[in-house]
Chains A and B, each alone.
Chain A
Amino acid sequence: MSNSSRFETNKICCYAHPDAPLIEDYRAGDQICSECGLVVGDRVIDVGSEWRTFSNEKAGNDPSRVGGPENPLLNGSDLSTMIGPGRGDASFDSFGVSKYQNRRTMSSSDRALINAFREINSMADRINLPKTIVDRANNLFKQVHDGKNLKGRANDAIASACLYIACRQEGVPRTFKEICAVSKISKKEIGRCFKLILKALETSVDLITTGDFMSRFCSNLGLPNMVQRAATHIARKAVELDIVPGRSPISVAAAAIYMASQASEDKRSQKEIGDIAGVADVTIRQSYKLMYPHAVKLFPEDFKFATPIDQLPQM
């Protein structure tokens, strides 16, 4: 165990490999060098949270456990104590009303934050978003909340916009309509908050592409992998050749899926695709009309046509 006072290194490191990261083994309480396996620190006390939760009816009321993990990044970390609900006879006064009712003002400054996090969590849960996106959205909300220039806006709107931005930043964008479906805020308001947040945090996001949505739309429609790959290729080629100028990438993606599905065995109607993608079927029709004349160039070379190109619907 070498204790060095140089700035760049950790205080504890393996003497043979000072640059190797140390791996912590919680079960034994060791810190192990990742290069040679030398146990560097021992009897390290575990400061992590209780990770075993018993699922009985009185979940959360078990007084012998320390409770859930703190949310240190996102809350005031005020280390306040809450008065728990009373049990036993002493905590009820003569009318049967519980004494010590003070559970309300636990952290008034962060009440909005906690509500928003709960809202983000429930929204993300409805569309099955992973925890990384939820965490990123929470972080964004915290930053926006601290900045205070969007203070007048509804917290739910800001939460929805943060969720949208988090999905974009993680590289798996969701359309505004998909976020609308799990939120009670209108698309217009989410769009406005989105622009305001980008300005407030001074970030920017990448442009959406057609390929980001292909796998989701195709699997929701139950299309096989071949059709999905063909649709991705068609949409990408259409944007490259710029035959659909000014059309939203979602509409182009929907029209590409339509074209690919009509050329294969699993045909889908424009209405079904419009339902899944959140575009009107006339919009799909418009984009399809632009893409149809160039159909030969758009399909991939190794595509097996169940319906040849000249028999594709012209609508």
Chain B
Amino acid sequence: MATAIQENGINSLSNGNLSHKVDEQNSSSPSEQSESIVKSEETTADNSETPEIDIVINNVVCSFSVRCHLNLRQIALHGSNVEYRRENGMITMKLRKPYTTASMWSSGKITCTGATSEPQAKVAARRYARCLQKLGFKTKFNNFRVVNVLGTCSMPFAIKITAFSERFKEHAEYEPELHPGVTYKLYNPKATLKIFSTGSITVTAPSVADVQAAIEHIFPLVYEFRKERTKEDILALQLKQRGVKRKRSFTHIDIEEQDYEEHFGDTSDEENYGSDESWD
């Protein structure tokens, strides 16, 4: 029970997240955005109803060097949006446009976190180097590499993690007292997956392709231990999604709305209580 997966490029969801549309149809529609990683990977699908899984990349961590000694004190005094912590010996600089944070050391090595895709990370890295150049340092752009990518995805079914962890004792580790999810370590695309009982999976891997490969690898294993979501679980999931969106516009949590939803189910139009945000 494998899924046939092909990337279609990046479609931006209205909540500001970028997601790779992981699609099993072989449609090769050209993507409008310039930042797209078009790769097609197909694994044979046995049954006709192969599902579609959205993989959302949340964080890309990259590291590069500017090959010159940085005077941290000078950057702290003259740079904007910087923070200097002397006990750690590093500068933290934040950028607004790809919303990222960079840690800079005086040796010239810089770690940039918070980007949501690999090309974005490169743009952000170049912006940081440019910013340092404007402050007067002779910077070069050297040795850019993506160190870590964090992606999340949600299976359309719940997962029986106790049985899963017993079956894959060599790779999986489940300690309910320490963490509510199973930590599954893969070695051939080197990746660490955290699998939760709700069906959400977070993957950390050295590159975006590895994230995708890891999800492809884990899907048949997890499919074996699926559990149909009950109505309460679906309601709880919807509430959580709406709650995240609502937090931006309301400052308090409306209890009456939750009860309303529990009793009357999915009534998304009626609950648009004067919020400017558009639901998808």
Q: Which residues of A contact B (CB under 8 A)?
A: 175-176, 191, 194-195, 204, 207-208, 239, 242, 245-250
**A207 touching B178, Cβ below 8 Å:** no
Query: Is residue B248 contacting chain A, with contact meaning CB distance below 8 A?
Result: no
> Interface residue tally of chain B, by bracket?
10 to 19
- Comparing B146-154, B159-167, B205-213, B255-263, the segment that makes contact with chain A is B159-167
B174 CB contacts on chain A under 8 angstroms: 207
A4 to chain B, nearest CB (A): 44
B161 CB contacts on chain A under 8 angstroms: 245-246
A208 CB contacts on chain B under 8 angstroms: 176-177
A240 to chain B, nearest CB (A): 11
A204 CB contacts on chain B under 8 angstroms: 169
> Chain B contact residues: over half helix, strand or loop, or mixed?
loop
A191 to B162, CA, bound (A): 19
Residues of B191-238 whose CB lies within 8 A of A? 196-198, 227
Q: List 14 A-B contacts (CB under 8 A).
A: A176-B178, A191-B175, A191-B178, A194-B175, A207-B162, A208-B176, A239-B162, A245-B197, A245-B227, A246-B180, A246-B197, A248-B177, A250-B176, A250-B177
A248 CB contacts on chain B under 8 angstroms: 176-177, 180
Q: A195-B173, A242-B227 are in contact. Are A207 and B196 (CB under 8 A)?
A: no
A55 to B175, CA, bound (A): 46
> Among A176, A242, A245, A246, which residue has its beta carbon within 8 angstroms of that of B177?
A176
B199 to chain A, nearest CB (A): 10
**B178 touching A245, Cβ below 8 Å:** no
> Among B160, B169, B173, which residue has its beta carbon within 8 angstroms of that of A242?
B160
Beyond the given A246-B197, A248-B177, could you list 14 further A-B residue pairs with CB under 8 A, ordered by the A residue number? A191-B175, A191-B177, A191-B178, A194-B175, A207-B166, A207-B174, A207-B176, A208-B177, A242-B227, A245-B158, A245-B161, A246-B161, A246-B180, A250-B177
B56 to chain A, nearest CB (A): 21
When A and B form their complex, which 3 residue pairs have the shortest distance between CB atoms, in order from nearest? A246-B197, A248-B176, A245-B197
A248 to B177, CA, bound (A): 6
**A246 touching B198, Cβ below 8 Å:** yes
Please give me the residue from chain A that is nearest to B173 by CB atom. A195
B169 CB contacts on chain A under 8 angstroms: 204
B165 CB contacts on chain A under 8 angstroms: 207
